[in-house]
Structure 1
Amino acid sequence: MRTIGRPSLKTVLKTSTVAGLAAVMLSTGIPAQIMSSYAAPVSVNAPQAPSFADVVSAVSPAVVSVKVQSDEQQVADNDGGNTFSFGGRGFDQLPDDHPLKRFFREFGGQMGPNGQGGQNRNQDRADKNGPRPHHLRPTAQGSGFFISEDGYIVTNNHVVSDGQAYTVVLSDGTELDAKLVGKDSRTDLALLKVDAPARKFTYVSFADDSKVRVGDWVVAVGNPFGLGGTVTAGIVSARGRDIGSGPYDDYIQVDAAVNRGNSGGPTFDLNGQVVGINTAIFSPSGGNVGIAFAIPASTAKDVIADLMKDGKVARGWLGVQIQPVTKDIADSLGLKEASGALVVAPQEGSPGQKAGIKEGDVITAVNGATVKDARDLAKRVAAFGPNTKVDVDLWRDGKQQTIPVMLGNMASDDTASNDNSRPSETPAPSSSKALASLGITVSPSDDGSGLAVTDVDPDSEAAARGLKTGEKIISVNNRKVTSASEVGKVIEQARKDGRTRALFQVEADGSSRFIALPINEG
């Protein structure tokens, strides 16, 4: 049995000593002899990630927000929805009875992009700077940047294309009126000018984007969703992207966060130079998913120089409809490499037709510079000025030849460049015959030109290549055909020449294309 009584003197002294030690530890810290028994806190001595602060502080004053007004009745936000956001939905796409759409329809005209009464601020500025047309409304908002101290600003064409009045907002909040100097829809670039003689603006320059490598750091500065002065960083993730927006697609792909409203804004390298102008995003939702596209500085530099000079861009014009040369097409024509641009049809009255370029020609070089593909040809020809004489190298009938061409003016020949008509021929009629070896059945066409495709074996290579019933075969290996027997003769000659494929020119809905079909069997 345990007895509990008063503590002994020894116990009291021992307890007092521990209490005193605890007091010392609380008031003065853990003594060194006791500290040594504790593990050291985590500390990592690793390389520090680079900071973008110096770049941002230097370039930010050169970046502006661009506000656009027009006589459209709806108020749009952030570059008018024209950033190429694939799959996104805006408020204008919501059902008419949707509460959010009703809200923005009723109150959007009275509120600025940040909900602070944008119309009132515009009216205040109009009172100070002179009258504005009373019917104009805010319809778009994007980004831009100064390229000169006297007020030239680069932005996107799709930001300003429908505007009648333009305002730029500087990084310090100052709002200034701007005028449109010129725009170019083919490259989606535009040039604005702010007139402020007493002020010198901070401006930036274009980089040599040929030295930009995949993996390099880049910084995007802009006005996403109306949030001016927003900075994001990422890397160059690809070069030479073709997104199908036009014949001069050659975009730099970046993974910096770029959103609606960043359109027209710059992407900088770590030296503070502009490597590209943000113009499009790929997004299933309308927001950033890490894939953005920028117009290369080299393209922008030339276009902006022309706009600054006379407000428009003059380009050389050849006037031929072209398509890429695939490996199959190269084999059918006896070309060693799948390169160059295949002429589908020269346009009526075009410089190319006048010079003698024909259907089925493969353009391999211009002025001695090798043409890699159809897109490369378009860029090379456009780079020459109108009324420039160039030498065009062709592959025709298994031989190389050179034709001199005097280029036209694309700017003044837009109507002609969209004309896909060409001279028609009226060959003698032929009887129908099944081309069993190719899985194609043909008959004389109604207009006597070429052969109408009446049936295509669904398991044939022709069907796999997209040949359809109702289309018309114009030529085979660049030889006009008006009967099935003529097709057979051309194919037999191709076999004797050691070819494994024949090149069929097919016409449908007023346009034509080439497909290469195997002929080594049958």
Structure 2
Amino acid sequence: MNRFRNVAWSGAIVSLLAFVPAAIQAQEQGQAPQPVQASPVDFTQIVAEVSPTVVAIIAQRPQRERPMRGGAGDLPFGGAEPDAPPRTAAAQGSGFVISEEGHVVTNNHVIQEATEIEVLLADGSRVPAELIGTDPATDLAVLQVDDLTEGTSVASWGDSDALLPGAWTIAIGSPFGLGETVTVGVLSARSRDIRSGPYDEFLQTDASINQGNSGGPLFNAQGEVVGVNTAIFSPTGANVGIGFAVPSRLATLIVDQLIEDGEVRRGLLGVNLQQMTEVLAEALGLDDVQGVLVSQVVPDGPADDAGLQMGDIILQLGDQDIEMPRDLSLAVAELAPGTVAVLTILRGDEEMEVEVMIGELRPPETPDSPAEAPDDALPEGMRLGLALSPLPSAIRRELDLPGSSGAMVQDVVPGSPAQEAGIRRNDVIVEAGTQLVDGPGDISQAWSEAMAEDRPLLIRLLRGGASLFVALRP
């Protein structure tokens, strides 16, 4: 059930606290009264309206056999007779109806590997469901029920971007198999990255979310769906007041594609990015830390075709400012392949706009790691905390490097500038101070020049097939 440590995929009702309205306080202090946002006395009417849209999901999965204790007469480990039919176990989650055609939204992990899926409607009827499509990257799935009861309610999407921390949130689902369970809390934070996937930007709520709530809706105070309850953070596996929901802004994009095409197509730019830091900015001769640094351009990719280069700094995509690599990754992923996007970049001292036709993201191929360097290589460059050797020709051919370029990192001295910059053993250094490296001597010379001028040294290296910039400060 867990996709990462201490986060359980799917929870105490928050009491309404009495307070002195700000308008009364202002009058007592002789100030002009300020408008106060009205809060609901309770959520009875909202829950009555939206509860019929919420369903339970029952997924039959192959049961993984557990080894049995050994002993005379016991079956072999595996615990199943040779000709016995495969066993299944029921997993239960939540979902909600979003169309009169019977489309139901839930989590991918609720129905993953299911051999049979049923939906338990609010009126108690249990009907089979067809899987329309899934998106494991956002943990969303869409089902379809053909035999919807006449008059079944349909949920309405709300605007998750309009929801601010402190706003009321209402979770409805089937935790631990208990159907139609309502919990209430506030939005704790937005755009949470919990490192469960590449497109994390969860809403965080303290409305109770537990096992079985997965895939259920998170409503706002107007009864609109602003999120799909997906995960909790918990040391114990039970709710501790930190739950996460996929925001409706993202969920609607994914769900619409799944309904239309059965799959999700994401945009691709074709670059590797790094966060800009003060040290990198100084090494690049920049006064401000802004944008994200292009550390590698994928050959023949959209960025390469558009003329982007290593060392470019991307400032904007369209009108959106780019402050972190994740900003650009999320923005590009939401663009349809074939879209022409405008990037504002900084190249040297010149700011320019570049048009790029967005490609289509496909499952990445895992590059081979560089081979070990020869044991008899002689270490050089220890003044900056590195033991370097010439790059073996076999590795140079594998990395498609010209001539005799490159140097292999044999060792990194603990506490040295190289270790502080994040350089690792077996990294391949290809540039130092924007100059190509033909061997360890070039790196030593560039380091000496940086020390003499009291400035950081910009290094470009290759690690696992990817290009990376680091800055070493004397």
Taking structure 1 as the reference length, the TM-score comes to 0.71
Amino acid at match of 2:63: Q
- The residue that corresponds to 2:365 in the other structure is 418
8 A contact 1:333–1:477 mirrored in 2: no
- The residue that corresponds to 2:460 in the other structure is 505
1:140–1:353 Cα change, 3 Å? farther
- The residue that corresponds to 2:49 in the other structure is 58
- Can you give the 5+ residue segments of structure 1 that lack an aligned partner in the other structure? 1-43, 76-91, 99-104, 107-133, 423-429
Superposed, 1:71-110 pairs within 5 Å as: 72-74=62-64
Residue 356 (structure 1) aligned to one of 276, 291, 307: 307
Query: Matched residues, percent identical?
Result: 38
8 A contact 1:432–1:444 mirrored in 2: no
Amino acid at match of 1:465: A
- The residue that corresponds to 1:235 in the other structure is 186
Superposed, 1:113-124 pairs within 5 Å as: none
Residue 390 (structure 2) aligned to one of 444, 452, 461: 444
**Separation in structure 2 between the aligned mates of residue 139 and residue 473 of structure 1, nearest angstrom:** 53
For residue 421 of structure 1, report the CA deviation from its aligned partner: 8.1
- The residue that corresponds to 1:515 in the other structure is 470
For residue 256 of structure 1, report the CA deviation from its aligned partner: 1.6
Of structures 1 and 2, the larger Rg is shown by 1
What is the DSSP-based 3-state SS (H/G/I as helix, E as strand, rest coil) of the residue aligned with 2:95?
strand
- The residue that corresponds to 1:27 in the other structure is none
Amino acid at match of 1:185: P
**Separation in structure 2 between the aligned mates of residue 489 and residue 370 of structure 1, nearest angstrom:** 38
Is 2:276 the partner of 1:325? yes
8 A contact 2:367–2:465 mirrored in 1: yes
For residue 364 of structure 1, report the CA deviation from its aligned partner: 2.0
Is 2:430 the partner of 1:474? yes
For residue 289 of structure 1, report the CA deviation from its aligned partner: 1.4
1:419–1:196 Cα change, 3 Å? same
Is 2:464 the partner of 1:464? no
**Separation in structure 2 between the aligned mates of residue 179 and residue 515 of structure 1, nearest angstrom:** 50
CA displacement, residues 74-107 of structure 1 (integer Å, 9 cap, x when unaligned): 49xxxxxxxxxxxxxxxx7xx9659xxxxxx99x
1:266–1:201 Cα change, 3 Å? same
Runs of 4+ in 1 over 6 A off after TM superposition: 44-49, 492-496
**Separation in structure 2 between the aligned mates of residue 373 and residue 515 of structure 1, nearest angstrom:** 17
For residue 188 of structure 1, report the CA deviation from its aligned partner: 1.4
8 A contact 2:381–2:441 mirrored in 1: no
8 A contact 1:345–1:420 mirrored in 2: no
For residue 283 of structure 1, report the CA deviation from its aligned partner: 1.3
For residue 49 of structure 1, report the CA deviation from its aligned partner: 8.4
1:385–1:274 Cα change, 3 Å? same
Residue 315 (structure 1) aligned to one of 266, 274, 281: 266
What is the DSSP-based 3-state SS (H/G/I as helix, E as strand, rest coil) of the residue aligned with 2:100?
coil
8 A contact 2:294–2:311 mirrored in 1: yes
Amino acid at match of 2:358: L
Is 2:259 the partner of 1:305? no
**Separation in structure 2 between the aligned mates of residue 434 and residue 197 of structure 1, nearest angstrom:** 72
1:58–1:165 Cα change, 3 Å? same
**Separation in structure 2 between the aligned mates of residue 56 and residue 97 of structure 1, nearest angstrom:** 49
**Separation in structure 1 between the aligned mates of residue 462 and residue 278 of structure 2, nearest angstrom:** 21
Superposed, 1:35-50 pairs within 5 Å as: 50=41
CA displacement, residues 181-219 of structure 1 (integer Å, 9 cap, x when unaligned): 111122111111111266232121111111111111211
**Separation in structure 1 between the aligned mates of residue 426 and residue 379 of structure 2, nearest angstrom:** 14
Amino acid at match of 2:289: A
1:365–1:494 Cα change, 3 Å? farther
8 A contact 1:334–1:499 mirrored in 2: no
Which structure's residues are more often helix, by fraction?
1
How well do the aligned residues superpose, as a CA RMSD in angstroms?
Answer: 3.3
**Separation in structure 1 between the aligned mates of residue 55 and residue 189 of structure 2, nearest angstrom:** 27
- The residue that corresponds to 1:212 in the other structure is 163
1:478–1:249 Cα change, 3 Å? farther
**Separation in structure 2 between the aligned mates of residue 284 and residue 465 of structure 1, nearest angstrom:** 33
Superposed, 1:287-306 pairs within 5 Å as: 287-306=238-257
**Separation in structure 2 between the aligned mates of residue 421 and residue 489 of structure 1, nearest angstrom:** 31
1:163–1:340 Cα change, 3 Å? farther
**Separation in structure 2 between the aligned mates of residue 515 and residue 175 of structure 1, nearest angstrom:** 58
Amino acid at match of 2:44: A
Amino acid at match of 2:132: V
**Separation in structure 2 between the aligned mates of residue 163 and residue 469 of structure 1, nearest angstrom:** 44
8 A contact 2:63–2:89 mirrored in 1: no
1:64–1:336 Cα change, 3 Å? farther
8 A contact 2:231–2:244 mirrored in 1: yes
8 A contact 1:364–1:372 mirrored in 2: yes
What is the DSSP-based 3-state SS (H/G/I as helix, E as strand, rest coil) of the residue aligned with 1:60?
helix
Residue 410 (structure 2) aligned to one of 443, 446, 454: 454
For residue 365 of structure 1, report the CA deviation from its aligned partner: 1.9
8 A contact 2:405–2:439 mirrored in 1: no
What is the DSSP-based 3-state SS (H/G/I as helix, E as strand, rest coil) of the residue aligned with 2:381?
strand
CA displacement, residues 307-350 of structure 1 (integer Å, 9 cap, x when unaligned): 22222222221122223223332332234443433223223432
Q: How many residues align?
A: 413
**Separation in structure 1 between the aligned mates of residue 430 and residue 96 of structure 2, nearest angstrom:** 51
For residue 392 of structure 1, report the CA deviation from its aligned partner: 2.5
8 A contact 1:348–1:421 mirrored in 2: no
CA displacement, residues 140-195 of structure 1 (integer Å, 9 cap, x when unaligned): 22110011233211111121232232111122321111111111122111111111
Is 2:343 the partner of 1:392? yes
What is the DSSP-based 3-state SS (H/G/I as helix, E as strand, rest coil) of the residue aligned with 1:201?
coil
- Can you give the 5+ residue segments of structure 2 that lack an aligned partner in the other structure? 1-16, 21-38, 71-77, 80-84, 370-376, 394-403
Residue 268 (structure 1) aligned to one of 200, 219, 239: 219
**Separation in structure 2 between the aligned mates of residue 359 and residue 499 of structure 1, nearest angstrom:** 25
For residue 500 of structure 1, report the CA deviation from its aligned partner: 3.5
For residue 239 of structure 1, report the CA deviation from its aligned partner: 1.1
For residue 238 of structure 1, report the CA deviation from its aligned partner: 1.2
What is the DSSP-based 3-state SS (H/G/I as helix, E as strand, rest coil) of the residue aligned with 1:302?
helix
Superposed, 1:16-31 pairs within 5 Å as: none
1:293–1:335 Cα change, 3 Å? farther
For residue 277 of structure 1, report the CA deviation from its aligned partner: 0.7
For residue 298 of structure 1, report the CA deviation from its aligned partner: 0.5
What is the DSSP-based 3-state SS (H/G/I as helix, E as strand, rest coil) of the residue aligned with 2:129?
strand
**Separation in structure 2 between the aligned mates of residue 220 and residue 55 of structure 1, nearest angstrom:** 12
